[in-house]
């Protein structure tokens, strides 16, 4: 399959999805991130790796939280950052997506961090840049529709590796609204790539997509069953708009069946860690006693996320385009 | 009383309010600001004091003007600045204020500049950071509800000191909507701390809060009486929403009774200075002839405000948290 | 005529309009831009010319595209950039335009990049700064009403010079909605200044202003006639709001009469270049086969635009105000 994220030497020139990403590249990203974690503790938290480079945050869908993490990562790499909330600008003037991209590339952009409500938009942009030989611009997917959120998947892997060291003896459960979650999809691909022997998803039928078994995943609709003996629990955010719809009876009902309480957490291994991509709905998918408890590693995820994004950005910026 | 803005060595680790701030700290801020005033005149207006530090402008309430002054102050200190308009983001996704704070702190933030419509919000944030031992993050209050606007109070003190040298022989009048003004409250505390013997407030009964006399303030409802012989006049902005409400008959009526005209200004000492926190309503609380006249020091206030904010930010960043 | 953009030595201290700008200054801007074009190709795309300077993007009218080009130009000159969307802030609090300007100038601003829906606003601001002896602040017009868009005009000249070398033997056609176009106005002035012997405008009667002949321009309503033998075609954007109004029957009708197709382009000289200020309406004023064809220089215009803005900003910043 054509994969525009690798150049002809098999190096990462764009980060679009974890699906199909070689294990060596995933590990290289995690190793690089490790060197950046220590930088954030220094008095001066900057390295000059992207000095003079122009990073454009192209957010076609609003996400202050994700945009902020990329903005910080860029600035700590000494890049110049331009924030563009595209929803409100050119596209409203009828310009096509690819004309906007060509225009920004012509300003000698070095990197586009792309968030888009449509699955595949960052792929389309990267392919267009490759096709038109605009190899100086690198694309990083910051979340596209229900498809992928690869930097979230990578920071989740960084977090698991930090606490569990070895992936090859783990049982990992992903809990909640898997159907609408790009995080779940990216996590499943990453866990599989890194050799996790058992990946489980837990959720109500209405929030589980088809085809999970074919991805090598064990499916549970009973949370108590699914949590038994797991090493890692990845909770997903339940989006507000689902709660009052046809898919779910109510937030209270959901919490009763799929909320992570201390009692349920006790079913997992005693040293199991609890993760969440944020923002949390306390009392909906997770109990405050768990969110603030000793097994939660939700805030370390955020810290590692900056380092992982710095790693991704510095790696793709260092790899030349397809023709080089 | 528990005061989260001082660490256990009595140093300023957060700036939340001028109330209860030791005189020595106020003077230290003003002295430090003095050294920054000259920097703004240089060809290169930057000092590397906060290089590599991440300053987050957390504006839960919109204020372009105040945000701009903090953004400039941060950049002149060489910090990386991240602007977050929080009203439009995480909190709308149902995340709690303190979860948002913990998340940003986990990104290795160094400073939160907080503007919030609710009185006490910056206090709550600082207390939470202290309680959870997140001592690397410093909070600067950029205005909370009707409670405090300490950097405005400090820049007002800087301005008075610049023009009048000595606080201990001054009569200062604060005129207008004291009831809704966080500026008035901060100014009264600062003037008292610095030993101003006579602080007056002037305004209609409906715009004066109770308890002013207990704060050591003389109250006047007749402006001509109140201005007699004063050295400093601090005009307050009359907010538009008050003008058509039950509290006031009309902008014209207000100007007739409490607008600062050249005739009224003549009642003050001949060398009295006129201050205003901006933005001004010309023809409502102040006559253009006064605003643009030789006694107005309204634009120097703005200039000094940048230096005062640089001073506050560099001082709190240099003081370690409660446990250190 | 009083021209606030030149200081008493005849140097450019503000850029407000190309009208009346001496040819030597236009050429100096284009020559300076030439040196910046190569910088954008470097690994580190920054020069320290405006280090420590504060550039304010004052956009009273929203324009993400133009704001972005100035933001990039500023950052590549190492300036600190503050973006202010003024529509949403101070002016809504009833503060006057000039009070806002005085306030920002008091923060030791070095440059205002001004976009305003009202023709003449940047002129008014520059005149006020000169009159009040605030000579440290320079104004660059980023588009005012229907009046002028001088940096667009200058980048168009840069582009023509790049491809055609000599202006004195050219025929240039400007096509479309000349009536509402500040770009057309700036281009006509620039072309005339640089000695282009024949400037044509082409468009329907309803979209052509009066007085064009007096500007030394030949007017055509028949596009096939107007394009014959031209060296340069500058297409204008047809604004959506015109299409459904009284001025035009429909976008389809417009394209039939004034859309630039390959057939029409063949009427021009074989080496004619096609320009467009963007964003393009494909299928309305320009056919995709032309927009993406070998004669289009639309993306190089964007690249040159960054260099031209760097040139303008560094030149005005280097020239002292009227009294110096």
Question: What digits encode the pLDDT tens for the residues A181-208?
Answer: 999 999 999 999 999 999 999 999 999 9
Q: Which chains touch B (3 or more CB pairs under 8 A)?
A: A, C
Give the integer Cα–Cα distance in Å for C320 and C101. Answer: 19
Q: Is the pLDDT of residue B215 over 50?
A: yes
Which residues sit opposite A232 in a β-bridge?
A: A172, A273
Query: If you ran DSSP here, which 8-state letter would residue C286 be given?
Result: B
Least confident of A76-80, A89-93, B209-213, B270-274: A89-93
- Closest partner residue to A102 (CB to CB) among C41, C68, C299 is C299
Provide the pLDDT for residue C86. Answer: 78
Question: What Rg, from alpha-carbon coordinates, does chain A have?
Answer: 20
- How many angstroms separate the CA atoms of A17 and A148, rounded? 6
Contact check, Cβ <8 Å, A95/C280: yes
By C-alpha distance, which of B248, B308, B323 is closest to B15?
Answer: B308
CA distance C53 to B137: 28
CB < 8 Å to A45, chain B: 52-54, 108
**Pairing status of strand A217-220 against strand A198-202:** parallel
Asked if the Cβ–Cβ distance from A44 to B54 is below 8 Å, we say no
| Average pLDDT for B105-122 | 95
pLDDT value of residue C245: 64
Kindly indicate the confidence band of residue B95, based on its pLDDT and cuts at 50, 70 and 90: confident
ipTM above 0.85, yes or no: yes
Instruction: Pick C93 or A127 by higher pLDDT.
Output: A127
The whole-number pLDDT of residue A44 equals 81
Query: Which segments of A are annotated as binding site for carbamoyl phosphate?
Result: 65-66, 115, 149, 152, 278-279
Q: How far apart are CA A200 and CA A203, in angstroms?
A: 10
**Nearest CB to C279; choose among A53, A95, A105:** A95
Tell me which chain A residue has its CA closest to the CA of residue B91. Answer: A279
Give CA–CA dist B46/B33, Å, rounded.
14
Polymer length of chain A: 324
pLDDT value at position A324?
45
Contact state of C72 with A94 under an 8 Å Cβ cutoff: no
Calculate how close chain A gets to C321, using CA atoms only, in Å: 30
Mutate which: B98, B103, B128, B137, vs A, most A CBs within 10 A: B103
Whether residue B300 has pLDDT greater than 70: yes
Residues of chain C positioned with their CB less than 8 A from the CB of B300: 106
- Interchain proximity C94–B279, CB inside 8 Å: yes
Check the annotation: does C122 bind a ligand. no
pLDDT in tens, C136-185: 999 999 999 989 999 999 999 999 999 999 999 999 999 999 999 999 99
CA C211 to chain centre: 21
Give the mean model confidence (pLDDT) for residues B190-208.
Answer: 96
Predicted confidence (pLDDT) at residue B154 exceeds the cutoff of 90: yes
CA gap A1, A19 in Å, rounded: 11
Ramachandran region, residue C165 (left: φ > 0; alpha: ψ -120 to 50; beta: rest): left
- At B324, the pLDDT band (50, 70, 90 cuts) reads very low
Here the tokens at position A291 are: 């969110």
Residues in chain C within 8 Å Cβ distance of B46: 51-52, 80
- Kindly report the nearest CA distance between residue B90 and chain A, in angstroms: 7
pLDDT given for residue C34 in this prediction: 96
How high is the pLDDT of residue A43? Answer: 79
Beta carbons within 10 angstroms of residue C134's beta carbon: 16
pLDDT greater than 60 at residue B89? no
Show residues of chain A in contact with C43, CB under 8 Å.
Answer: 52
| Residue C65 assigned to a binding site | yes
Q: Residue C201's pLDDT is what? A: 98
Alpha helix segments (H runs only) across chain B: 23-39, 64-76, 97-106, 121-131, 150-164, 182-193, 223-227, 240-243, 251-258, 262-265, 288-291, 298-318
CB contact under 8 A, B44 and C54: no
Question: What mean pLDDT is predicted for residues A209-236?
Answer: 95
What confidence tier does B43 reach under pLDDT thresholds 50, 70, 90?
confident
Q: What is the mean pLDDT of chain C?
A: 92
What one-character DSSP code corresponds to residue C312?
A: H
Q: Which two tokens stand for residue B305?
A: 């405000």
Residue whose C-alpha is closest to residue A237's, from A301, A308, A163: A301
Give the pLDDT band (50/70/90) at residue C193.
very high
Q: Name every chain A residue with its beta carbon within 8 A of the beta carbon of B105.
A: 299
Residue C246 has pLDDT above 70, yes or no: no
Mean pLDDT of chain B: 92
Cβ of A94 and C46 within 8 Å? no
Per-residue pLDDT band at C244 (split at 50, 70, 90): low
What's the gap between Cα C259 and its chain centre? 22
Query: From CA B50, how far away is CA B80, in angstroms rounded?
Result: 8
pLDDT computed for residue B320 by the predictor? 79
Q: What mean pLDDT comes out for the span A256-273? A: 97
Top pLDDT among A43 and A198 is at A198
Terminal-residue alpha carbon distance, chain C: 21
């Amino acid at each position: 399959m054509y994969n525009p994220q690798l150049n002809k030497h098999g190096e990462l020139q764009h980060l679009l999805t974890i699906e199909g990403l070689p294990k060596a590249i995933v590990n290289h990203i995690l190793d690089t991130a490790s060197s950046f974690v220590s930088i954030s503790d220094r008095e001066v938290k900057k390295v000059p790796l992207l000095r003079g480079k122009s990073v454009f945050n192209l957010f076609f869908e609003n996400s202050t939280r994700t945009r902020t993490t990329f903005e910080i990562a860029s600035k700590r790499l000494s890049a110049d950052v331009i924030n563009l909330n595209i929803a409100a600008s050119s596209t409203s003037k009828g310009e096509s997506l690819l004309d906007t991209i060509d225009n920004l590339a012509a300003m000698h952009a070095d990197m586009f961090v792309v968030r888009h409500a449509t699955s595949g938009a960052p792929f389309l942009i990267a392919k267009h840049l490759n096709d038109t030989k605009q190899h100086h611009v690198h694309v990083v997917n910051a979340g596209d529709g229900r498809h992928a959120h690869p930097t979230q998947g990578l920071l989740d892997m960084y977090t698991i590796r930090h606490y569990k060291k070895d992936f090859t003896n783990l049982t990992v459960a992903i809990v909640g609204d898997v159907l609408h979650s790009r995080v779940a999809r990216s996590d499943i691909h990453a866990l599989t790539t890194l050799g996790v022997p058992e990946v489980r998803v837990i959720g109500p039928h209405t929030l589980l997509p088809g085809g999970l078994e074919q991805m090598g995943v064990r499916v549970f609709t009973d949370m108590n069953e699914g949590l038994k003996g797991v090493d890692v629990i990845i909770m997903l955010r339940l989006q507000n708009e689902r709660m009052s719809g046809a898919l779910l009876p109510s937030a209270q009902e959901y919490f009763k069946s799929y909320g992570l309480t201390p009692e349920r957490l006790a079913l997992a291994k005693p040293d199991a860690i609890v993760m969440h991509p944020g923002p949390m709905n306390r009392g909906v998918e997770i109990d405050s006693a768990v969110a603030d408890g000793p097994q939660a590693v939700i805030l370390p995820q955020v810290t590692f996320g900056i380092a992982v994004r710095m790693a991704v950005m510095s790696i793709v910026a260092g790899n030349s385009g397809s023709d080089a």
